[in-house]
A = this chain, B = another copy of it.
């Protein structure tokens, strides 16, 4: 039985608590939050005790921590948890600064604690099945990865101001997916983008429509496009072209019903947003964490994956700002 302490009792902490309730080999023993109310609510639902973050990390009843607090608190919590020898499950991004992630990586490696960066999409059953088929050679060598990722609507401007921008808060998932599927590190990054959805997003220095091209040393290519708007639901599609064939994962629709009229054949919209679309992924990623910690096996995606994705997001932001191609060392 893995005893888990949840740091941060907001929406994502609650999602993880629900996932844990469906895993026989784990339970929530403690929760912590800067605010009393969400902490007590989550404690009531899980039977866990409410502690301060420090006490939670120090508790003998906690084997592993889930860090679901604001990004700027991750660094200190990782430091403390690593010092305390706890296994760490950390929401992305690990930190807004790649250099600080490097410091975290050193701390985690020095402490020898398991660490998982929560790139949940790797655990989506569709994308996981697609990846498995690549790994078993069904399409030969990967040549071109195409990722189409669009949110139904932009987040509040207040969020965008502090999120690090579209490359760091939204495309970072696609950048990790690109690395996951390419099977090789990108060495060049080129980004374009504009504020087409909401000019106010441009006013605060970000874009809402963006495209990035990655290429690897061996010539593999990835094209990603993002929009903060999609009228037809949460658009999450991936395709991978290889030497022997093509794999693609389509959207999940609200249901399988099709209506035919003189307008044509119409299916339902895509599932609305990430909580529906990635419900299974959230459960699976935590199952993977619990199983890997219990078995003492290495965990992917690890802190190094968190670092690489951040480096690519930084490069994309720089490429857009300077309108030039950025080389990755």
Contact = CB atoms under 8 A, between A and B. Distances in A.
B219 A194 contact: yes
Contacts of A221: 192-194, 209-211, 225
Contacts of A133: 257, 259
Nearest to A197: B243
B258 A143 contact: no
B256 A246 contact: no
Contacts of A192: 188, 190, 213, 215, 221
A195 B195 CA distance: 35
Contact of A231 (B232, B245, B250): B245
Nearest to A125: B255
A232 B325 contact: no
A265 interface: yes
B269 A245 contact: no
A190 B231 contact: no
Contacts of A258: 247-250
A197 B231 CA distance: 37
A196 B141 contact: yes
A144 B227 contact: yes
Contact of A263 (B251, B269, B325): B269
Nearest to A219: B194
B246 A260 contact: yes
A220 to B, nearest CB: 8
Copies in the complex: 4
A219 B197 CA distance: 11
A225 B256 CA distance: 20
A190 B255 CA distance: 32
Interface in A302-329: 323-325
Contact of A225 (B141, B144, B227, B255): B144
A229 interface: yes
A261 interface: yes
Interface of A: 125-126, 129-130, 133, 138-139, 141, 143-144, 146, 148, 150, 188, 190, 192-197, 209-211, 213, 215, 218-221, 223, 225, 227, 229-232, 235, 239, 241, 243-270, 323-325
21 contacts: A144-B225, A146-B223, A188-B192, A190-B190, A194-B215, A229-B243, A230-B246, A232-B264, A232-B265, A245-B261, A246-B261, A247-B257, A247-B260, A248-B258, A249-B258, A250-B256, A252-B256, A254-B264, A263-B269, A265-B267, A325-B325
